[in-house]
Structure 1
Amino acid sequence: MNISKREQRVLHVLAQGGCIRHLREDDQRRISEVICVTRDGAVLSDCDLPLFRRLRQRGLIGSQGGAPYRISLKGRRAVRAQPDNR
């Protein structure tokens, strides 16, 4: 599966324990804003709404019961291994 650098970056953050928090519009059920948060609480600026929709459409991320979006098993298999520079 071809995954862009921005998608790889977001999936790597999610694989390390981050999440994508979403906000919905009041009158509609559509998601209007997303914020990608690392496990340390920092915000990743690369994650925007079109990127979020691509990841969700491909099944690389998922949410259950209105919880923040996390990486799915398919997403874990698609992300390339990167060294953790901590």
Structure 2
Amino acid sequence: MNISRAEQRVLHALAQGGCISRLYDGRGRIAEVLCFTRDGHVLSDCDLAVFNKLLRKRLIESKASSPYRISHAGRRSVRSQLDNR
């Protein structure tokens, strides 16, 4: 499966224990998403487009209206991240 660099960064943060919380607009639609690392920092690479791609590929999931976390399929597809930033 082809996964972009931004999607890989988000999946890597989620695999280490992070989560994605969502903010709704007045009509009940998702207006903004925030990806938190396990340390509580906000990941800037996660925007609504990346969130929708991960959701469509079923690499993230939410159970009982909790924040989104990495799914089993997401754990299988994430690659190790190099430190070449």
Same fold (TM over 0.5): yes
* Segments of 4+ moved more than 3 angstroms: none
- Which residue is equivalent to 1:73? 72
Q: Percent identity?
A: 61
TM-score normalised by structure 1 residue count: 0.90
How do residues 27-42 of structure 1 correspond to structure 2 at under 5 angstroms? Answer: 28-42=27-41
> How far apart are 1:64 and its partner, in Å?
1.4
- Which residue is equivalent to 1:10? 10
Q: Distance in 2 between matches of 1:64 and 1:29?
A: 18
- Which residue is equivalent to 1:60? 59
Structure 1 unmatched ranges of 5 or more: none
TM-score normalised by structure 2 residue count: 0.91
RMSD across aligned positions (CA): 1.4
Structure 2 unmatched ranges of 5 or more: none
